[in-house]
A and B are shown apart, each in its own frame.
Chain A
Amino acid sequence: MAHRGNGGDLRAGGFVVSLIRVAFARLLAAIPMMILVSLIIFSIPYFIPGDPAFTIAGPNATMDDIARIRSDLGLDRPIPGQYIAWLGNAVTLDFGDSYLVGRDVRTMIGERMEVMLSLALLSTLFAGLIGIPLGIIAASRIGGVRDRLAVGSASMGVAIPNYWLAAILVTYLAVEWGWFPAAGYVRIGDDPGQWLWHLILPTIALGAISAAEVTRQTRGMMAQTMNLDYIRTARMKGLPPRIVIGKHALKNAAIPVITALGLQLTIVLGGSVIVEQIFGMPGLGELAITAVLGRDIPVIQGIVLLTTVVAVSTNLLVDIVTSHLDPRVVIS
């Protein structure tokens, strides 16, 4: 697109163009990182103790059995050759078959990805919907009653471990009072209502810490922003608080808040392992634990790669939104 005037207004050429530019630049920047990640994922079998061929073959196997398994898996080939072959498959999401169950890893992960994505997205949404308004309310009068309440509950929220909160929620809201299902998962395609119903408690358990963190972040940013000169200008214009706060302060305070939300999404990915277990959900967490305990290398590799991709795409999304919010950010 053509540059105009002082460095050119990115949006003059259309929002979509600038969006594609940002996305493209970030994707290029992500390539070296993804290569590094792929190297690490590939090396997992060489770093963990024990030989997968032994594991698969079982305790009563002969040395011949083990050698056969090794050659089947390509473990006897030179390492660079193994890496190239592995990478070629990995790009097409082909990680081979599970050592333990013998099923295609891609299918196994695909079945369980919905649980993880539902949980991660809903918890992050929950964190944003609770944390952002709470932070704004708290910052509207620093030191006031509502501020102290918000800060107090946020500090508590950050301190509460998600497994404890999950256990409490299950015990009371599900088992004792029967308001929510205690366990299980319904696919969104089967019954969206039941899907949401089953996800409410896990979402709260998983998103509470993030909501508290987002509250603190929003409050801090808003409080800082409200003291800036351009907020004084907005007040000078006689604009009502909803415009001064909702327009002038929020758009500038939003950038670190959105960055924090993105970070929370990746943290939630990790937290979901425990929460899935407590709520008996057939998610990736359960699969990951089984795979790690059974040294099921292809499954571990698949899961690690998938989580990396989710984390990288989250960052990409955050970058795009941020560059849209702040006209000073120019992606070169």
Chain B
Amino acid sequence: MTVQDSATTALRVKELCVDVATPEGWATVVEDVSLAVDVGEIHGLVGESGSGKSLTAMAIMGLITHSQSARVTGGEVLLGDVDLLKLSNRDLRRHQGKDLAMVFQEPMTSLNPAFTVADQIGESIRYHLGASRKEARERSIELLEEVGIADARRRCNDYPHQFSGGMRQRVMLAVALACEPRLLIADEPTTALDVTVQAQMLELIRSLVERHGMAVIFITHDLGVIAEICDRTTVFYAGQVIESGLVGEVIKGPRHPYTEGLLRSVPADDDLPLWWIDGSPPLPGQVSSGCRFSPRCEYSKNECDTHAVPLRLSADGRAIRCALADDLSLNGRD
């Protein structure tokens, strides 16, 4: 899978910063994150828990403005020409659920137990597109069929608790797709599902993207999943983008030691012992001024800790945040 040369950019995130409240005050946990996602592209965000990928997604979706424990402190989120961060709550709501929508990690709790799935799918159709109750219902049934719910006409009157986890995530996907959004954000949509169901879900998402031609941000901590469905990927570490590029290139030839470590940690088919990266990421508010990965990095030199490392763009569209990138020869996976 490759990105078309003529593809237009659906979403452009520029230097996004997000702070969260800690007992010691506000701490920056998403720092200068920039992303571009083309129409028809699945862009994978990968990184450990707490690396800032989910908060980045919440900030793009406009769900952080409501929270008292996190705040966006800078940057732009451009959906087409509109900077979503500059909109009033009222204007932002016109785009939420219509131009961009999100599937969450928790299929068991993300649907309201008190309303039928048809109601919950049709809600944004009625609200954003002014559809009648009947039209919204018919459209909900179509959507349920599209996400692979058998006997959709009858099942649409069921409540979430009458569906399994995998089926609920399909329903959630139908909720997100209801208004044909230009951007779909999927935050670890398969993490809570059985392994057998995960593959079906990934296949479904990929086929929906091909049919609807939307842009997708796909968040995961699993590079295997990235390799399977994404076109491009951005690797997060401790709130920063540390590497970004086409999936094939990043996997075959990582240029940041953390990416190499992540790739080595994916279990292989052979009998090699399981690999891990020693240590743990720095806590929010406790990052050093130099490279944040340096304490865990096997290639680390003194110079790594003295200066902040900028994210450098190379000619082939890769971006790497490593002072030693040009000197290292790292191993990827096939």
Chain A residues within CB distance 8 Å of chain B: 4-7, 9, 12, 228-230, 232-240, 243, 247-248, 251-252, 325-328
Q: Could you tell me if B96 and A252 are in contact, using CB atoms closer than 8 angstroms?
A: no
Q: Are A238 and B106 in contact (CB under 8 A)?
A: no
Q: Is the CB of A252 within 8 A of B112?
A: yes
Q: Considering the chains assembled together, what is the distance between the CA atoms of A7 and B189 in angstroms?
A: 27
Q: Are the C-beta atoms of A229 and B162 separated by less than 8 Å? A: no
Name which residue of chain A comes closest to B111, CB basis: A230
Whole-angstrom distance between the Cβ of B46 and the nearest chain A Cβ:
22
Which of B112, B128, B172 makes the CB contact (< 8 A) with A234? Answer: B112
Shortest distance between the CB of A321 and any CB in chain B (Å): 13
B104 touches A233 (CB 8 A): yes
Contact B113 A235 (CB under 8 A): no
Contact with A along B109-127 (1 / 0, CB 8 A): 1111111000010011001
Residue of A nearest to B108 (CB): A229
Residues of A within 8 A of B63 (CB): 232, 235-236
State which residues 155-177 of B face A: CB under 8 Å. Answer: 155, 157-159, 161-163, 172, 175-176
User: Bound complex: CA of A229 vs CA of B114, how far in Å?
Assistant: 13
Contact between A233 and B175 (Cβ–Cβ < 8 Å)? yes
- Chain B residues whose C-beta falls within 8 Å of the C-beta of A234 in the assembled complex: 112, 123
Beta-carbon nearest neighbor of A143 in chain B: B68
Asked whether any CB of chain A lies closer than 8 Å to the CB of B134, the reply is: no
Give every chain A residue within 8 A of B157 (Cβ-Cβ).
9, 12
Question: Contacts of B114 on A, CB cut-off 8 Å?
Answer: 248, 251-252, 325-327
A9 to B113, CA, bound (A): 13
B186 interface residue, CB < 8 Å from A?
no
Q: What separation, in Å, do the CA atoms of A238 and B128 have in the docked complex? A: 8
**Is A230 a contact partner of B127 (Cβ separation < 8 A)?**
no
* Residue among A12, A238, A243, A328 making CB contact with B161, cutoff 8 Å: A328
Smallest Cβ distance from B245 to chain A, in angstroms? 29
Residue of A4, A9, A235, A247 with most partner-chain B CB within 10 A: A235
> Known contacts A228-B109, A229-B109, A252-B114; is A237 also within 8 Å of B175 by CB?
yes
Please, which residues of chain B bring their CB within 8 A of the CB of A325? 114
Kindly list chain A residues whose C-beta atoms are within 8 Å of the C-beta of B95. Answer: 238
Q: Judging by beta carbons under 8 Å apart, are B161 and A327 in contact?
A: yes
B118-166 CB contacts (< 8 Å) to partner A = 120, 123-124, 127-128, 154-155, 157-159, 161-163
Q: Which residue in B66, B110, B127 is a CB contact (below 8 Å) of A233? A: B110
Question: B93 an interface residue at 8 Å Cβ cutoff?
Answer: yes
B127, A232: Cβ atoms under 8 Å? no
Closest to B65 in A: A235
Measured in the bound complex, the distance between the Cα atoms of B109 and A235 in whole Å is 14
Chain B, interface size: which category? 35 or more
B86 at interface by CB-CB < 8 Å: no
**A317, chain B: closest CB distance, angstroms:** 19
B292 at the interface (CB under 8 A from A): no
Q: How many angstroms between the C-alpha atoms of A4 and B153 in the bound complex?
A: 14
B192: min CB distance to chain A, Å: 11
For the complex of A and B, 4 pairs with smallest distance between CB atoms: A238-B96, A237-B97, A238-B97, A6-B162
Q: Chain B: which residue is nearest A226 at the CB level?
A: B66
Q: Which residue of B lies closest to A250 (CB)?
A: B114
Supply 19 further A-B pairs (C-beta < 8 A) apart from A230-B109, A251-B114.
A6-B158, A9-B159, A229-B109, A229-B110, A230-B110, A232-B110, A233-B120, A235-B63, A236-B97, A237-B175, A238-B95, A238-B97, A238-B127, A239-B97, A239-B127, A243-B123, A251-B115, A327-B114, A327-B159
Task: Take A233-B104, A327-B114 as given contacts and tell me if A239 and B162 are in contact as well, using a CB distance cutoff of 8 Å.
Answer: no
Residues of A within 8 A of B172 (CB): 233
Given contacts A230-B109, A325-B114, is CB(A238)–CB(B102) below 8 Å? no
Closest chain A CB from B127 CB (angstroms): 6
- Within 8 Å by CB of B123, from A9, A228, A235, A237, lies A237
Smallest CB separation, B217 vs chain A (Å): 14
A239 interface neighbour in B93, B104, B113, B176, Cβ under 8 Å: B93
State the Cβ distance, A226 to closest chain B Cβ, in Å: 9
Interface presence of B101 (CB below 8 A): yes
Question: Nearest chain-B residue to A236 (Cβ)?
Answer: B102
Specify which chain A residues have a CB less than 8 angstroms from the CB of B155 in the assembled complex: 5
Query: In the complex, are the beta carbons of A238 and B158 less than 8 A apart?
Result: no
B158 touching A9 by the CB < 8 A rule? yes
Q: For A251, list chain B residues within 8 Å (CB).
A: 112, 114-115
Q: Is B307 an interface residue (CB 8 A)?
A: no
B98 within 8 A of partner (CB): yes
Q: Are A230 and B102 in contact (CB under 8 A)?
A: no
Q: How many Å from the CB of A271 to the closest CB on chain B?
A: 33
Choice from B92, B106, B113, B154 contacting A326 with Cβ under 8 Å:
B113
Q: Which A residue's beta carbon lies closest to that of B159?
A: A327
Q: B94 an interface residue at 8 Å Cβ cutoff?
A: yes
| Contact of B263 with A by CB under 8 A | no
Question: Contacts of B111 on A, CB cut-off 8 Å?
Answer: 230, 233
Which of chain A's residues have a CB closer than 8 A to the CB of B215? none
Centre residue among A4, A230, A239, A326 by max chain B CB count within 10 A? A230
B123 and A239 contacting across the interface, CB-CB below 8 Å: yes
B93 adjacent to A240 (CB under 8 Å) = yes
